[in-house]
Structure 1
Amino acid sequence: MADLLVRLYDLPEYDYKRVIDQGVTLRRALAPERASVCEWVETHFSRHWRSEVETGFSHQPIDVWIAHDADGLLGFACGDVTARGFFGPTGVAEDARGRGIGEALLFKTLQDLESKGFAYAVIGDPGPVDFYKNKLDATEIPASKPGIYRGMLK
């Protein structure tokens, strides 16, 4: 499986109504939320993803998008943290999956990258390749090395 390339200047329109109607708020994270968001990411996903989220919080503006409702955090997505122009990491709480939250965070993050002047985004080591291809017309990057960052220290 290869890394994927997304044309940001040609993103399809996205309707956030589905998640908003569920009482979900999508927004850029705030600096005072750093500790709680990072702890949540490490608890639900991994220490490595926490490190990438911490990098997103060090940017101005912050490159971490979150989804939450009245009960708390539901998901997150980062852009421009693993490497310049990269999408991810991203994750949604297990009990909140299937509600369109991850897709909404994907579009928020990609639209933000486009607003910063990027023409393309890379989705490195993508999980659901067919999802990205269908939703974004993403294309595989020939000879890319997905998981190149897997050689990190544990």
Structure 2
Amino acid sequence: MPDLLCSLVHLPDIEPFLRSLRLQTIFLRRPNPWEKEKVRGFVKGNWSSNWAQEVDVAFSKQPISCFIATKEDDIVGFSAYECTRRGFFGPMGVLPEHRKKGIGTALLLAGLMGLQDLGYVYGIIGAAGPVDFYHRTCGAVPITLNNGRGIYGLKEEPRFMRQSKKDTRTE
């Protein structure tokens, strides 16, 4: 799964998506600090412990760099940003029975707006599964690095991968 690059300069308006969700009694918000275990459990139980660990990082930020979508008192989706690396969006997930309602779009836009609030003009969507969704929603395009596997396939810290000037010279 490739990393994607997304401009944060002209994001779609989130308000129509939020209005549509409200009509379905689905609400988007940042979780409260005391909901960390609930959110972490939701992510781990429906996706993976790796994603749950990334959500832990979101709770170490101020404000929390995570959004949840709720219906009644139940979490039905989440998105996080600035967890894996600076400027990165993800992970994100919506329960299968709640997909195709605009929840993922709203969670994506909320997270990208969070990156925008931090001063970024571009965001990276890490290891993007539904590439077409991200391209349609926010114009994200693949970054060609490491045979399309992005940072997750690197064996070495990126700053240590620089070639020395001697290595790049042609003789």
- Identify whether the pair has TM-score above 0.5, normalized to the shorter chain: yes
TM-score by length of 1: 0.91
User: Where do 5+ consecutive residues of structure 2 fail to align?
Assistant: 156-171
Alignment of 1:6 onto 2:6? yes
Deviates most, 54-63 or 7-16: 7-16
Aligned length: 152
Q: Deviations over 1:8-40 (max 9, x none)?
A: 012122322111110011011110000111011
TM-score by length of 2: 0.82
| Distance (Å, rounded) in 1 between the aligned partners of 2:78 and 2:51 | 11
Q: CA deviation at 1:130?
A: 1.3
User: Where do 5+ consecutive residues of structure 1 fail to align?
Assistant: none
Instruction: Report the identity percentage.
Output: 40
Correspondence for 1:20 among 3, 19, 22? 22
Task: Report if the CA contact (8 A) 1:124-1:146 is conserved.
Answer: no
RMSD between superposed Cα atoms in Å: 1.8
| Distance (Å, rounded) in 1 between the aligned partners of 2:125 and 2:4 | 5
Alignment of 1:97 onto 2:91? no
- Code of the aligned partner of 1:2: P
Q: Deviations over 1:68-90 (max 9, x none)?
A: 01141111000100110111000
Runs of 4 or more consecutive aligned structure 1 residues displaced over 3 Å after TM superposition = none
Alignment of 1:149 onto 2:158? no
2:70 partner SS: strand
Matched with 2:141 is 139
- Code of the aligned partner of 1:149: Y
Alignment of 1:30 onto 2:36? no
Matched with 2:123 is 121
- Code of the aligned partner of 1:117: G
| Distance (Å, rounded) in 1 between the aligned partners of 2:42 and 2:34 | 14
Matched with 2:167 is none
| Distance (Å, rounded) in 2 between the aligned partners of 1:71 and 1:33 | 12
Task: Report if the CA contact (8 A) 1:5-1:141 is conserved.
Answer: yes
Greater Rg over alpha carbons, structure:
2
Matched with 1:107 is 109
Q: CA deviation at 1:132?
A: 1.2
| Distance (Å, rounded) in 2 between the aligned partners of 1:129 and 1:18 | 24
